[in-house]
Structure 1
Amino acid sequence: MNKKIVALALLIVAGFVSCNQFMKPKPTEENSAAPVIKALPQDPSLQVYFNQSQTSSYTEPYRQVTRSGHDLEQLMVYSINSARESVDVAVQELRLPRIAQALAHRHRSGVKVRLIIENLYNRPVALSPSQVRALPKRERDRYAELVSLADTDKDGSLSDAEISSGDALAIVREAGIPMIDDTADGSKGSGLMHHKFIVIDGKTLIVTSANFTTSDIHGDFKSAESRGNPNNLLKMQSPELAKVFSEEFSQMWGDGPGGKPDSKFGVKKAIRPLASGARSAIARVSVGGATVAVQFSPATAKTPWQQTPNGLIDRTLANSSKSVNLALFVFSAQQLADTLQAQSRTGVAIKALVDSSFVYRPYSEAMDMMGASLLEGCKLEVENRPWSQPLATVGMPKLPVGDRLHHKFGVVDGATVITGSHNWSEAANRANDETLLVVESATVGAHFEQEFDRLYQGAILGLPQRIKQKMDSRKSECK
């Protein structure tokens, strides 16, 4: 695309950040971060990482900020570079050039590389000004972040060289890597192709809650304080478990680019024989010292709820006897909240953190747990059930400016972890392509408990005064 057109597009998103925001930050305590907590032991076959962990530090490659956390991007690059036969990637959004470059390098070395992404994010960096203006506000911000990432010399325009080296999808296409999105089945797309996994050589598996973006891993360019949406990553060595994910990938892939429209996304996917050989929606595999159960979304409308991924979450929560700690982007599945209430009444200690953009919504189960309800159009959420014994241990974490709580995990009795890409909602359960893992391991549980404790320190618990005032105001208006 003509350099002047791209420059105009950049002007449209001007004001996104100040002109000096991309300069190397001034030295601060965060910029000289060192581990402040001793790292916990890892299971060699199932390793756990967090991008805001206090047990490690790294220098972010784009803003040159030295900060606490594991470099999830580098972990994935290292794993991709180890591939000798194949790399299959299914991720909602790929925007990090180092991951794209690693995939391109492996492809050119003769490794079989395939990529599936969500159709909403299958767009190039070089949009015209009118195309940028047509984007919703949130997508304009995302696009501005993408342009800023590619604009390495910060001159306000993108050269062909910058696009070729900074636009991840341009790198993938230029390398000739086969790629499809969720319109390959002949539809306009599934609910969301929301997976975030990589299968390497049929034996190494990466499952993460993070999209491959600056926002989800390193931090937003528009906020100097941002350190990336809190996310987790599991790296597992298991041919049996990798096979389960390869079967999921193969269903979505079909014939690949240009083939027959036999790709299957969403509810078109079939229940299939999994690792055990039985026709079941759930596979259970031993990985090192852990047992890993995996189930993929979505479930059809005819599938009984207890057999869906949310049903697996429900059964896991119902088995709690001591504690349940939740760190969730969104929590809107009523039946899961009902089970938690029943467990709370038996004496199970429950703590929950939900992202600030969802925690006080009328449909948020966090509101139920706090014994509150918020009218929307003078109506209550369907099946609204505020707890008669509210919890004072529910709220939202305090995060750096620009960051969102993107985790989707729960820890039961300190030794069972629910995680993956699956948000605790009916959209994830019935519409999206998602991964749900239930990991039984005290070693893995300790890592997630440590991350929860970090988020819980200083969290805003209970109902803020502004929410109470909003509740009173709406009740008054609706009389």
Structure 2
Amino acid sequence: MVMRRLFVPLVCVLGLGLNSCRLAAQLAPTVLPAAQRPAPLPQDPQIPVYFNHNTAQGANYTDPYRQIERPGDDLEGVILQEIAQAQQSIDVAVQELRLPRIAQALAAKQAAGVRVRVVLENTYNQPWPESERSGPGRSNTDAEIAALADQDGDGQVTAAELAQNDAILILRNARVPLIDDTADGSKGSGLMHHKFVVIDGATVVTGSANFTPSGTHGDLTMAVSRGNVNHLLVIRDRALAQAFQQEFNLLWGDGPGGRPDSKFGLQKPMRPAQTFTIGASRVTVHFSPTSPSQAWEMSSNGLIARTLSAANQSVDLALFVFSEQAIANTLATRHQQGTQVRVLIDPSFAFRDFSEGLDLLGVTLLKQDCQAEPNNQPWAAPITTVGVPALPPGDKLHHKFGVMDRRVVITGSHNWSAAANHNNDETVLVIDNPAIAAHFQQEFDHLFKGAQLGITSAVETKIQEAAQACGG
């Protein structure tokens, strides 16, 4: 097993000293010189895909909030461009919306006569609280607010600055209709974790990114940050857009002030996956959650497992969370039959006791109660091609994608977990198109090239300490 020391470079965020920050800088990814950046790949005209950490030549833009020239695709710019095309309707379902330019664009479209509706996760359906707008000793959240809204730099965020920069306040002041997942009469069931926009019932913008500075451009208080590693797709197809429209309408119900007939979580009816032919692509979409009383094979995780089981040569995964045992078992079967498996997981989740990454590495980390995860099945023939990417301090691997045989892509908002499968409002897309898969493959290969692979010494120590504490 490959043994490498992993250092998650959060020390600069925590202010733990110059030497630690230098070490973090050494382990953070470097920007490739222009001559070493790969050539841009052709986009599918009906399903272009964008990555905020894109390393291809010509993928550059200026972060509009920090004025940083940087490589990557401008995910906020992609959303704004599609909003600008709207003539009739814009429906937004996103866990969190904190980008003021998007809120301003939605307000302007409503003022121009376009129907605009927004659904959020209830945790994020509030303006910035008074306690986090100004004053000494700011928390990280306070500092982010100040960086975004304190335009004159006087240390205070005024009502006028809030009105221009607090996305939720912008929407409320413009009277844009907005609900969250308490609109069904509950306190919120699971997470409203979607990330999609439907434009004129004909175009869908979706992917892994929340509509926040950290989800697109980077943490505003950290110049080195380049944002949680995310992607967006723009899908131009009316039939598929109608499937997303139906999902949105279930969430919306009668909207603000109407009956509490919105349907979130398991209140939504069971619906099978739908498949569409879009130009050269075959696209399957499934919306979570699925009740545990239904056959697991009919769920989103079941769709993921079925797709993986068809891989013959290679499976490459870039995942924020990987904790679904049945999917790991599917990968074990593929690996036993000769399929190459490579997996990257966000450092904050890769080596926790519930992570299936540990299974693939052939080890078990006991929980605090000295028990292994139920049905835990570490691989008897472990692989060493599992690890964590090298990212700028504070940034997360937020993708939820897999590439099979360099032609099929699994993507969406859906983390590979039981919670996403059985509780949350999520989207899973399976796209069969080699041209689109090439973009995801290029993204994976770049992340994998600098990754830390295998069990780290720190994790090895953690495993041994847990075994000793449990009498092992």
Q: Distance in 2 between matches of 1:16 and 1:178?
A: 39
Q: Distance in 1 between matches of 2:221 and 2:379?
A: 39
SS at match of 2:48: strand
| Cα displacement (A) at 1:401 | 0.8
In the alignment, structure 1 residue 411 sits paired with structure 2 residue 403: yes
In the alignment, structure 1 residue 52 sits paired with structure 2 residue 44: no
| Cα displacement (A) at 1:476 | 1.5
2:72 aligned partner: 69
1:248 aligned partner: 247
2:143–2:221 Cα contact (<8 Å) kept: no
1:34–1:68 Cα contact (<8 Å) kept: no
Q: Which whole-Å deviations, capped at 9, do the CAs of 1:389-427 have from their partners, x for residues lacking one?
A: 111100000001110000000001111000000000000
Q: Which TM-score applies when normalising by structure 2?
A: 0.90
Map 1:118-157 onto structure 2 (within 5 A). Answer: 118-128=121-131, 141-142=140-141, 144-157=143-156
Map 1:143-182 onto structure 2 (within 5 A). Answer: 144-182=143-181
1:25 aligned partner: none
Q: Distance in 1 between matches of 2:248 and 2:119?
A: 8
| Cα displacement (A) at 1:126 | 3.4
Q: Distance in 2 between matches of 1:466 and 1:121?
A: 35
1:477 aligned partner: 469
1:313–1:418 Cα contact (<8 Å) kept: yes
One-letter amino acid of the counterpart of residue 281, structure 2? A
One-letter amino acid of the counterpart of residue 255, structure 1? D
Unaligned runs of 5+ in 1: 1-14, 18-28, 133-138, 272-279
One-letter amino acid of the counterpart of residue 359, structure 1? A
Q: Which whole-Å deviations, capped at 9, do the CAs of 1:233-280 have from their partners, x for residues lacking one?
A: 000110000000000000110000010000000000113xxxxxxxx5
Q: Distance in 2 between matches of 1:194 and 1:186?
A: 18
| Cα displacement (A) at 1:36 | 2.2
1:16–1:222 Cα contact (<8 Å) kept: no
Q: Distance in 2 between matches of 1:341 and 1:142?
A: 41
Q: Distance in 1 between matches of 2:427 and 2:403?
A: 17
1:361 aligned partner: 352
Q: Which stretch shows the higher mean deviation, 342-351 or 148-157?
A: 148-157
One-letter amino acid of the counterpart of residue 236, structure 2? Q
One-letter amino acid of the counterpart of residue 108, structure 2? H
In the alignment, structure 1 residue 389 sits paired with structure 2 residue 390: no
One-letter amino acid of the counterpart of residue 211, structure 1? N
2:133–2:157 Cα contact (<8 Å) kept: no
SS at match of 2:130: coil
| Cα displacement (A) at 1:31 | 12
2:55–2:71 Cα contact (<8 Å) kept: yes
| Cα displacement (A) at 1:128 | 3.0
Map 1:281-320 onto structure 2 (within 5 A). Answer: 281-320=272-311
Residue 35 to residue 152, structure 1, CA distance change in 2 (3 Å): farther
| Cα displacement (A) at 1:383 | 1.4
Residue 235 to residue 283, structure 1, CA distance change in 2 (3 Å): same
| Cα displacement (A) at 1:142 | 4.0
SS at match of 2:39: coil
Map 1:447-458 onto structure 2 (within 5 A). Answer: 447-458=439-450
SS at match of 1:358: helix
2:91–2:198 Cα contact (<8 Å) kept: yes
2:363 aligned partner: 372
SS at match of 1:128: helix
One-letter amino acid of the counterpart of residue 121, structure 1? Y
Unaligned runs of 5+ in 2: 1-12, 16-29
SS at match of 1:463: coil
Q: Distance in 2 between matches of 1:334 and 1:286?
A: 31
| Cα displacement (A) at 1:143 | 5.2
One-letter amino acid of the counterpart of residue 65, structure 1? I
1:16–1:141 Cα contact (<8 Å) kept: no
Q: Distance in 2 between matches of 1:31 and 1:364?
A: 32
Q: Which stretch shows the higher mean deviation, 120-129 or 40-49?
A: 120-129
Q: Distance in 1 between matches of 2:102 and 2:315?
A: 35
Map 1:185-264 onto structure 2 (within 5 A). Answer: 185-264=184-263
2:19 aligned partner: none
2:111 aligned partner: 108
1:402 aligned partner: 394
2:93 aligned partner: 90
Q: Which TM-score applies when normalising by structure 1?
A: 0.89
How many corresponding residue pairs?
442
One-letter amino acid of the counterpart of residue 186, structure 1? G
| Cα displacement (A) at 1:462 | 0.1
Q: Which whole-Å deviations, capped at 9, do the CAs of 1:10-50 have from their partners, x for residues lacking one?
A: xxxxx989xxxxxxxxxxx9699799221101110010100
Q: Distance in 1 between matches of 2:439 and 2:448?
A: 14
Q: Which whole-Å deviations, capped at 9, do the CAs of 1:143-166 have from their partners, x for residues lacking one?
A: 542343122222211111110111
Q: Distance in 2 between matches of 1:30 and 1:317?
A: 32
| Cα displacement (A) at 1:141 | 3.5
| Cα displacement (A) at 1:470 | 1.4
One-letter amino acid of the counterpart of residue 173, structure 2? E
Residue 130 to residue 41, structure 1, CA distance change in 2 (3 Å): closer
2:65–2:220 Cα contact (<8 Å) kept: no
2:329 aligned partner: 338
Q: Distance in 1 between matches of 2:348 and 2:14?
A: 20
2:82 aligned partner: 79
One-letter amino acid of the counterpart of residue 240, structure 1? A
Q: Distance in 2 between matches of 1:376 and 1:470?
A: 11
1:459 aligned partner: 451
One-letter amino acid of the counterpart of residue 464, structure 1? T
Higher relative contact order (CA 8 A, sep 6+): 2
2:41 aligned partner: 40
SS at match of 1:162: helix
Residue 370 to residue 131, structure 1, CA distance change in 2 (3 Å): farther
Q: Distance in 2 between matches of 1:388 and 1:415?
A: 29
Q: Distance in 2 between matches of 1:152 and 1:90?
A: 29
1:321 aligned partner: 312
Residue 440 to residue 463, structure 1, CA distance change in 2 (3 Å): same
1:21 aligned partner: none
2:89–2:200 Cα contact (<8 Å) kept: yes
1:30–1:66 Cα contact (<8 Å) kept: no
One-letter amino acid of the counterpart of residue 172, structure 1? L
SS at match of 1:456: helix
2:183–2:262 Cα contact (<8 Å) kept: yes
SS at match of 2:430: strand
